[in-house]
């Protein structure tokens, strides 16, 4: 794959460093892209999103969700269960620890998270601050100000 050079854009833009770094890193093939646990990202409304992760075998106490700056980190860690006297013939349910990171856009906040039937649902909401929303600017009519001079009085 070709590498895209963003350096000309750095000269003519201000404040987009994080965006260019993110785009640059997305173009790099990851050596060992984690495939566990599987997840979905859904759009549930105009400014609402949901991340659903399949975390079968994990309890709420085994999961940790942290939102810092524009990164959402989901960690799962389990202590090894004592399988004394049990012979596992086939292990199809993964019970390994994981750490999954998601890059969030500006003004996206984590609203809630809940675990249901082995699925972790994380609800996200994008709230744009009032000062950043588009607003209409009224155009004032041209009112020429006339300067009134004092009349000279004759004595």
Q: What is the pLDDT of residues 111-130, one digit of tens each?
A: 999 999 989 999 999 888 88
Alpha carbon of residue 8 to chain centroid: 27
**Average confidence (pLDDT) over 11-33:** 62
The answer to whether position 95 is within a domain reads yes
Q: Looking at residue 104, which CATH number applies to its domain?
A: 2.60.40.790
The answer to whether position 137 is within a domain reads no
Asked whether the beta carbons of 110 and 65 are under 8 A apart, the reply is: yes
- Which pTM was predicted? 0.64
Total structural domains within the chain: 1
Q: Would you tell me how many other CB atoms lie within 10 Å of the CB of residue 120?
A: 21
The answer to whether position 155 is within a domain reads no
Q: What tokens appear for 57 in the block?
A: 């075998």
Between CA 129 and CA 154 the distance in angstroms is 64
Range of the domain at 67: 35-82+91-131
The answer to whether position 52 is within a domain reads yes
DSSP character at residue 91 = -
């Amino acid at each position: 794959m070709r590498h895209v050079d963003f350096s000309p854009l750095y000269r003519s833009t201000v404040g987009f460093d994080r965006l260019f770094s993110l785009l640059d890193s997305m173009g790099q093939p990851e050596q060992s892209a984690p495939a566990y646990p599987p997840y979905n990202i859904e759009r549930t409304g105009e400014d609402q999103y949901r991340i659903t992760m399949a975390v079968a075998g994990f309890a709420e106490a085994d999961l940790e969700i942290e939102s810092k700056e524009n990164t959402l980190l989901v960690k799962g860690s389990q202590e090894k269960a004592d399988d004394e006297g049990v012979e596992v013939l086939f292990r199809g349910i993964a019970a390994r620890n994981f750490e999954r990171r998601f890059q969030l856009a500006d003004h996206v906040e984590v609203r809630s998270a809940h675990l249901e039937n082995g699925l972790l649902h994380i609800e996200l909401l994008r709230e744009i601050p009032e000062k950043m929303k588009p607003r209409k600017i009224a155009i004032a009519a041209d009112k020429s100000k006339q300067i009134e001079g004092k009349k000279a009085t004759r004595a």
